[in-house]
Chains A and B, each alone.
Chain A
Amino acid sequence: MIHLAAAAAGGFATPHIRYLAILPEIVMLGGAVMLLAVASLVRRSLRVGVATAATVAVSLGALGCSLWQWSDVTGQGAFTAVDHAVVVDGFSALVNVLVACAMALTALVGDGYLRREGADGPELHVLAMVSASGAMVMASANDLIVVFLGLEILSIALYVLAAFNHRRAASGEAALKYFILGSFSSAVFVYGIALVYGATGSTNLAQIAGFLSKTVLSSDGLLLAGMAMLIVGFAFKVAAVPFHMWTPDVYQGSPSPITGFMAAVAKAGAFAAFLRVLISSFGLLRTDWQPVVYALAIVTLLVGAGLAVVQRDVKRMLAYSSINHAGFVLLGLEAATTRGVSASLYYLFAYTFMVIGSFAVVTVVGRRGDAAHDISSYRGLARRQPLLAIMFAVLLLAQAGAPFTTGLWAKLQVVLAAAHGAVPLAVVAMVSAAIAAFFYLRVAVLMYSPLATAGETPGVQSPAAEPQALFSAGAPGGEGTPAAATAGSAVGATTTAGSALDSAGAASGDGATSRTLWTGLERSMAGIARINAALLLDEEPGRERMVGDAPPSPAGTGPSGETGVDAVDATGAVSAGPAPVPLLTAIAVGLCVGVTVVFGIWPAPLTSFAHQATLLFFP
């Protein structure tokens, strides 16, 4: 008792808190709490618009604080605060900027989603803000305990958000899976912290680094085991293979705007801490952890890309694609150089805008009920909603790494960083990018294909259409294959330049082929459409699915006790009318596309931003 009293009197227990250093976090979390308080105090339930406006305002405030931190750091250098538990450097400022942007965009997308689903109240926004503040804490953590704190703030809010759409069983299932697996990984992470503490006597990142630089451990088994557990904990959060298995189910089941948020913010926060812990604390042990990250990167790249190819559900496909992206960010980590870190940061930045934009489009196309995510829902989108389709196409191409988008520069930089030390890894990355390009293009092409004619349900086409024949449709005589002709004439029938298309195939090809650029474009599109038709054929009965989505066994007897049937038929025919695009969602998508394209054509500012952030890395 005496001891405690003395400690309290001496101020030993309460470190000096420099609130300005954690201002973005405070703004974000405080905004969430205020919004929740106001919502519970007003008599009627809060309108969605009000909550959205408040959230955007709070996010912009946090953005402003982060930018202020940025200018502060560029002027005076990095510093630690709150008893060295928190660090403010270029790295944390950049990630905070990123998270704040992501939060604002998610609020805009979420607004349309809530109105469409008839939900009201500020819960979605509040939880998302709490989660975002967790990501910010992770980004500026300088202590393993603080990292864990951020991780839990981030995750617990996300568990609830995943279950937000309580009308969909899939949503509940996703949340439960995420929760169980997340708890498991958190436990592993905490265990890792404990072991590292045991080995080094500190949880402070800088002190760990200092300890390792001064001490030669006679037996470092404890430390390495702890580090392995930390890596696994992070790998789970960033969805690296083989710790990724929750990702497709959770991404598919969560409400679409939340999926985008999760893909962007959770990944950004977790990667920020991952990079900081491994590079600044365990930088001296890089020869120990680099092989692990190397292996993780390879399997993540390949499994992410390979499994995305065989998906029919676009959300699931994007989930695997985000796994693939995580593999690319791991490349920068594996390099463990300044260049690698800045490449990873740049990648995260580019990825955030691409993925939030993509899931915003998915939200819109999902329609009321947020269930129309089968790839067939995208067929002919360009005809119904040309602007939406072109934006989605740009975002998909950016994810594939096409020129004139940030995606290209992101991939280029991580691959260059990896190529400095790990050439095979760079090669694998490029191969996986090639595989990945396929499924992005597949959706893009489908959007520019005509709607299936009556009686022809998507995926059920002439059985005579063997993929082999379809692939060779470009060669002379390829037009003769029945299914190819079907695909070709289907394109022709509904396009204005369609007649040119058919005649171009028939004529010897000199005058007709050079008609217009557009005709050429449509021809190549038609070619890919044929490949696509071939792939859509490939639908086996036992395709991968969530348990709750369309269970093979009767309802109620699902293997993991889920309720099973949800009354949505995802593969059903799509109604022809355009899906309504709320203005705010359109603005969000437009912003994402804008960032992606503008900084894709003019990459210098963002690359130097990321580079500077890395140079200001603390210490």
Chain B
Amino acid sequence: MLHAAFLVPLFPLVGFVVLLAFGRRIGEPVAGWIGTLAVTGAFVSAIVTLAGLANQPAGARTLTCSDACGTGANAHSFFTWIAVGGLHVSAAILLDPLSMTMCMFITGVSMLIHLYSIGYMRGDRDFTKFFVYLNAFVFSMLVLVMASNLLVTFVGWEGVGVCSYWLVSFWFFRDSAASAGKKAFIYNRIGDVGFLLAVFLIFSKTGTLTYVSIFAHRHLLSGGSITAAVLLLFLAATGKSAQIPLFNWLPDAMEGPTPVSALIHAATMVTAGVYLMCRANPLLAMTPDAMWVIAVVGGLTAFVAATIACAQQDIKKGLAFSTVSQIGYMVLAVGSGAYVAAIFLMVAHAFYKGLLFLGSGSVIHGLGDEQDMKRMGGLRRTMPWTFATFLFAWLALAAVPPFSGFWAKGLLLANVYSKSLPLYALGLLTAFFTAYYMSRIFFLTFTGKERWKDPAPDGSPAHHPPHEAPWVMRAPLVVLAFFAVFAGAANLPWVHVGTLADWLAPVFGHRLFDSHQSAGEQVTLAVVDGVVAVAAALVAWGLWRRTANRPALEPRFLQRVWYWDNVYDAVIGRPGQALARMYAVVVDARIIDGAVNGAANLVRATGNGVRRVQTGFVRNYLLGIALGLAAVIAFMISRTWWS
């Protein structure tokens, strides 16, 4: 059963190749169904593999490929990829509870979103291309999480990056989409540099890239270098997972089609950074300093993004900042050593945030590509399915008991409480904002006056009455809603066997932060969480239920993202452009081109000179050979004199 692991990434790869080769001939909608089918195959294979892994005894649930690939029963390697000198890289799979957990929700959510996309992308001129990219993305993401070594992870890491670029600028004829794609790509590049440097550092110290061997030889990384390696990996994570200081790209990435936002920029890719941190947990455990940095960055990101989300008008931007904030929570958990809480929130978040995006996509679809919440309102009557499912997702994200978000965030905050009181306070404050902004989005969209009936202030006409989405779009909503409500059951605090924590325990072992809280403490913390969430929701209910016009609550400072982009522009952008201009005009045009032209002229002149020897006369050629022979013999004979 474990051999089904091969099929997990293989299915989307086959789907990708088939659609790439024949997609245009297959056309709409069959191409979409093929793409969906491929991911379904991956999902089924993941279930089979998971079942196989669960059958193993708890201690033997980490199946890797040893360096001598192809030997032993546990060798899950496709092939030796690179063998140069001491570097020996296999394209191999690491099967353990962590990677399988990731695989399960990645393939599951991807499957639903593929299905949804068939409806959402209907009539798009690049319908098949969309599914080509999506399948490529799923493949890359699976490579990322299933890789047994850093280099193959990096292949997946870059793969998802480029798929994200293609998909963000999928409608590249819009300038905003094109530049958003570019922005996403460049921000991620900064992180990728960190990743590469970390890989170099780890390889130079331990001489291996395989996770298992790195962890086995982690003592070779001394104090300074371990902190450097972890922080460099974390830099990569901040890029991919949109954390401070590299978070600005994610809101812009909402220029992509909504299924992309749901899949890549909410459920899966942006959690890759958190996954990487969890994967590297043995390294993290060696450097408490870096852990503190991670925790503080995560907490701050969660807070900053949550405040910004309170003032957004664009529904997708609001959700995007919410994603940044939620991932901030996960990073905070990682920094606190609460890996299980991070993964738990990641899984729950994948369900409810995916659902929120799909729901918003349904609204946007229904209103003819309207994204401004100020022009929505009262949609609960016209879009009942969307309304009902969005309702559950809202309650889950707001962490209202007993929905999934409550349990996940509760576990997380309880762990942070034991780690550091100030960070806990920050987290709790963020929780308040979270429930507030999410409720605001919900009320603005689904309750109150039906503002879409009025013409916009800027003169654009009123919208047609919205229509409910087709069944291919509704079905994923319902399934995701189910999980958004009940995903919390995976790790209820009073259950101790068969929980997510139990399942993941072999991966983290004793490195998992143990808060040692009494039952009374736990109950108190949970009550506090619940009260905060409900209170914030009630505040939002009072403020935003009827009106959409409260400028005092949407300060410019928050709307402009704490002026973060402006600071970057002033500090990095402008000087960078000036530098680039200087290089273009002076260095490139004069010095480099001069050197290139000079070298080219030199080669050409030499070539022209030398080829005069090439006369075409056999006698000259013979002379050449004879002279060469004479020279070689003369040299040889001279050796006898010297020796």
Residues on A lying within 8 angstroms of B by beta carbon are 176-177, 180-181, 184-185, 188, 219-221, 224-225, 227-229, 231-232, 235-236, 242-243, 245-246, 248-249, 288, 291-292, 303, 306-307, 309-310, 412, 416, 435, 438, 467-468, 471-472, 474-476, 510-511, 514-516, 531, 535, 538, 540, 544-547, 559-560, 602-605, 607-608
B57 at the interface (CB under 8 A from A): no
| Contact A604 to B636, CB < 8 A, known contacts A245-B625, A309-B603 | no
- Of B207-215, B250-258, B510-518, B612-620, which stretch is located at the interface? B612-620
Query: Do A412 and B84 touch across chains, with their CB atoms under 8 A apart?
Result: yes
Query: Do B636 and A185 touch across chains, with their CB atoms under 8 A apart?
Result: no
Query: Do B633 and A474 touch across chains, with their CB atoms under 8 A apart?
Result: no
21 contacts across the A-B interface (CB closer than 8 A): A180-B622, A181-B618, A185-B625, A188-B629, A224-B637, A228-B629, A228-B633, A229-B633, A231-B632, A232-B625, A242-B625, A248-B614, A306-B603, A467-B601, A471-B597, A475-B589, A511-B178, A538-B604, A560-B619, A602-B79, A603-B82
CA distance A225 to B82 in the complex (A): 43
CA distance A242 to B608 in the complex (A): 17
Chain B interface extent, by class: 35 or more
Q: Which residues on A sit within 8 Å (CB–CB) of B632?
A: 228, 231-232, 292
Query: Do A544 and B639 touch across chains, with their CB atoms under 8 A apart?
Result: no
Instruction: From A227, A412, A531, A560, give the contact of B616 (CB < 8 A).
Output: A560
Residues on B lying within 8 angstroms of A by beta carbon are 79-85, 169, 172, 175, 178-179, 181-182, 584-585, 588-589, 593, 596-597, 600-601, 603-604, 606-608, 610-611, 613-614, 616-622, 624-625, 627-629, 632-633, 635-637, 639-640
Query: Do B617 and A559 touch across chains, with their CB atoms under 8 A apart?
Result: yes
Q: Which residues on A sit within 8 Å (CB–CB) of B81?
A: 602, 604
| Contact A472 to B636, CB < 8 A, known contacts A510-B179, A514-B179 | no
User: For B181, B611, B620, which residue has the most chain A Cβ atoms within 10 angstroms?
Assistant: B611
CA distance A286 to B473 in the complex (A): 74
CA distance A559 to B617 in the complex (A): 7
Q: Which residues on B sit within 8 Å (CB–CB) of A559?
A: 616-617
Chain B nearest Cβ from A144, distance in angstroms: 17
Chain A nearest Cβ from B100, distance in angstroms: 27
Q: Which residues on A sit within 8 Å (CB–CB) of B640?
A: 219-221, 224
| Contact A471 to B627, CB < 8 A, known contacts A221-B637, A310-B607 | no
Q: Which residues on A sit within 8 Å (CB–CB) of B608?
A: 310, 540
Seed contacts A292-B636, A467-B597, A471-B600; 18 additional CB < 8 Å A-B pairs: A220-B640, A225-B636, A232-B625, A245-B624, A288-B639, A310-B604, A467-B601, A471-B593, A472-B593, A475-B588, A476-B585, A514-B182, A515-B178, A544-B614, A547-B617, A559-B616, A560-B617, A604-B82
Query: Do A604 and B79 touch across chains, with their CB atoms under 8 A apart?
Result: yes
Q: Please report whether the interface of chain A is mostly helix, strand, loop or mixed according to DSSP.
A: helix
User: For B584, B608, B619, which residue has the most chain A Cβ atoms within 10 angstroms?
Assistant: B608
CA distance A184 to B628 in the complex (A): 13
CA distance A459 to B213 in the complex (A): 59
Query: Do B621 and A232 touch across chains, with their CB atoms under 8 A apart?
Result: no
Query: Do B624 and A243 touch across chains, with their CB atoms under 8 A apart?
Result: yes
CA distance A467 to B608 in the complex (A): 16
CA distance A143 to B620 in the complex (A): 33
Q: Which residues on B sit within 8 Å (CB–CB) of A307?
A: 607, 610-611, 614
Q: Which residues on A sit within 8 Å (CB–CB) of B178?
A: 511, 514-515
Q: Which residues on A sit within 8 Å (CB–CB) of B179?
A: 510-511, 514
Instruction: From B600, B628, B639, give the contact of A243 (CB < 8 A).
Output: B628
Query: Do B588 and A309 touch across chains, with their CB atoms under 8 A apart?
Result: no
| Contact A228 to B636, CB < 8 A, known contacts A236-B625, A475-B585, A511-B178 | yes
Query: Do A177 and B585 touch across chains, with their CB atoms under 8 A apart?
Result: no
Chain A nearest Cβ from B540, distance in angstroms: 38
Q: Which residues on B sit within 8 Å (CB–CB) of A602?
A: 79, 81
Query: Do A243 and B83 touch across chains, with their CB atoms under 8 A apart?
Result: no
| Contact A229 to B629, CB < 8 A, known contacts A307-B614, A547-B616 | yes
Chain A nearest Cβ from B145, distance in angstroms: 22
Chain B nearest Cβ from A87, distance in angstroms: 26
Instruction: From B172, B616, B618, B639, give the contact of A515 (CB < 8 A).
Output: B172
Query: Do B585 and A306 touch across chains, with their CB atoms under 8 A apart?
Result: no
Q: Which residues on B sit within 8 Å (CB–CB) of A220?
A: 640
Chain A nearest Cβ from B585, distance in angstroms: 7
Query: Do A225 and B633 touch across chains, with their CB atoms under 8 A apart?
Result: yes
Chain B nearest Cβ from A428, distance in angstroms: 14
Chain B nearest Cβ from A245, distance in angstroms: 4
Query: Do B622 and A511 touch across chains, with their CB atoms under 8 A apart?
Result: no
Chain B nearest Cβ from A570, distance in angstroms: 15
CA distance A5 to B81 in the complex (A): 63
CA distance A166 to B629 in the complex (A): 33
CA distance A228 to B638 in the complex (A): 12
Closest to B83 in A: A604
Closest to B602 in A: A306
| Contact A225 to B637, CB < 8 A, known contacts A292-B632, A511-B175, A604-B79 | yes
CA distance A547 to B620 in the complex (A): 13
Closest to A220 in B: B640
CA distance A389 to B90 in the complex (A): 33
CA distance A198 to B452 in the complex (A): 103
Instruction: From A219, A235, A291, A607, give the contact of B83 (CB < 8 A).
Output: A607
Query: Do A472 and B589 touch across chains, with their CB atoms under 8 A apart?
Result: yes
